[in-house]
Amino acid sequence: MNNQKQQKPTLSGQRFKTRKRDEKERFDPTQFQDCIIQGLTETGTDLEAVAKFLDASGAKLDYRRYAETLFDILVAGGMLAPGGTLADDMMRTDVCVFAAQEDLETMQAFAQVFNKLIRRYKYLEKGFEDEVKKLLLFLKGFSESERNKLAMLTGVLLANGTLNASILNSLYNENLVKEGVSAAFAVKLFKSWINEKDINAVAASLRKVSMDNRLMELFPANKQSVEHFTKYFTEAGLKELSEYVRNQQTIGARKELQKELQEQMSRGDPFKDIILYVKEEMKKNNIPEPVVIGIVWSSVMSTVEWNKKEELVAEQAIKHLKQYSPLLAAFTTQGQSELTLLLKIQEYCYDNIHFMKAFQKIVVLFYKAEVLSEEPILKWYKDAHVAKGKSVFLEQMKKFVEWLKNAEEAGK
């Protein structure tokens, strides 16, 4: 019996070559371009036929691999070299955005072509976004007419959700901003975007990508002011965008003021320094006094940890507010400011249930400290109060209001 282990068979001889189908195809955008351009030449400028051709070709051609080439052709008529120029020796087509008529209707029709294509081949979404970012960086390489068409098209695509507003980041490129290309492009883009939607929808899209506070960066640093932005875009026929940016700036300035105020109060800065700072901010950002008193009131009330017991909170509030009366009094020099403060106190006492019984005590304290005067208090009592807890607060104020009226009568 042979004890030797049987030898395992070995494979020898010639190694097989990799099958043709397994070989990675060479990247050849030129061949892809020729196929697309030939198809577009056959469809002509009928954009319905173009959309059908692109839909069908996706099954045969590698859109995923050649997305950039595909979008270059549809926008510029052929593959773009760095900087945005068309290569001289390449095939090109006139069935593209840049060769089309320069009007909104035509760009809306082209937007439909891109929309259908990306809905059909969802994987093209990212490639298209990258393409538009690239095209925006190439703006200087395009003619004014080509820029206008691209701006209108981009506005429509932003409106219908095919593009995300984050693509606008490309417009903050230093060279484009410096030469005024970004601002001029933005005018056409926002006009077509607002035309499709409205300023509120545009604002919501900008907010979503934290772009709502960056629009002034479309101008060089020495021109980044609300005044310059407003003048430029209003003269270009975009008053609603100018107003939106102005409001954004005001909201931002108010938030900043409140934040700084709270920090100054928690540090225990002297009231005269705080008052000086607030007055400078009011002047610089054009914030009216009635708005400021609301901010000061909120800041004063947020600097303390309030007692949870109703019987103790009133005493705590009076002590705290007595200390801050000089600060509040500095910003109630107008009747409207006093009325605003009364409404803020009413809302605060209603929203914070432990303060329900403290309303009258706070108003009397402010009257004695000359933060409030009789006329706004009487007006509030008569018809300027809000609905929040009004029956409770009007009842609390009844005796004091009668006393004020009698004092006023006696003074006549």
Q: Is residue 240 part of a domain?
A: no
Q: Write the pLDDT tens digit of every residue in 141-200.
A: 999 999 999 999 999 999 999 999 999 999 999 999 999 999 999 999 999 999 999 999
Residues 194, 68: one domain? yes
* Mean pLDDT, rounded, for 125-132: 96
Q: Is residue 4 part of a domain?
A: no
Note down the domain range covering 342.
300-407
pLDDT at position 18 is: 46
Q: What share of the chain is helix, strand, coil (3-state, %, to 5)?
A: 70, 0, 30
**Poorest-confidence range of 116-125, 294-303, 398-407?**
398-407
Tell which of 146, 179, 203 closes a domain: 203
Residues 188, 61: one domain? yes
Residue 76 has pLDDT above 50, yes or no: yes
Q: Is residue 127 part of a domain?
A: yes
Q: How many independent structural domains does the chain possess?
A: 2
pLDDT at position 89 is: 67
Token pair for residue 66?
A: 């050649």
What is the percentage of the chain residues whose pLDDT exceeds 90? 75
pLDDT confidence tier of residue 22, bands split at 50, 70 and 90: very low
Q: Write the pLDDT tens digit of every residue in 240-256.
A: 999 999 888 888 888 99
pTM over 0.75: no
Q: Is residue 232 part of a domain?
A: no
Distances (CA, A) of 155 to 85, 161, 203: 23, 10, 13
pLDDT confidence tier of residue 21, bands split at 50, 70 and 90: very low
91, 34 Cβ separation under 8 angstroms: yes
Residues 197, 309: one domain? no
Tell which of 183, 203, 223 closes a domain: 203
DSSP E strands in 141-252: the ranges are none
CATH number at residue 371: 1.25.40.180
Residues 179, 315: one domain? no
* Mean pLDDT, rounded, for 5-33: 60
* Amino acid at residue number 209: V
Residues 189, 42: one domain? yes
pLDDT at position 287 is: 87
Tell which of 203, 226, 249 closes a domain: 203
Q: Is residue 208 part of a domain?
A: no
Cα 224–Cα 228–Cα 231 angle in degrees, nearest 5: 150
How many Å apart are CA 128 and CA 118, to the nearest integer?
8
Q: Is residue 343 part of a domain?
A: yes
Residues 55, 184: one domain? yes
Query: Cα–chain-centroid distance for residue 267?
Result: 33
Residues 320, 187: one domain? no
Q: Is residue 280 part of a domain?
A: no
Residues 316, 170: one domain? no
Q: Is residue 370 part of a domain?
A: yes
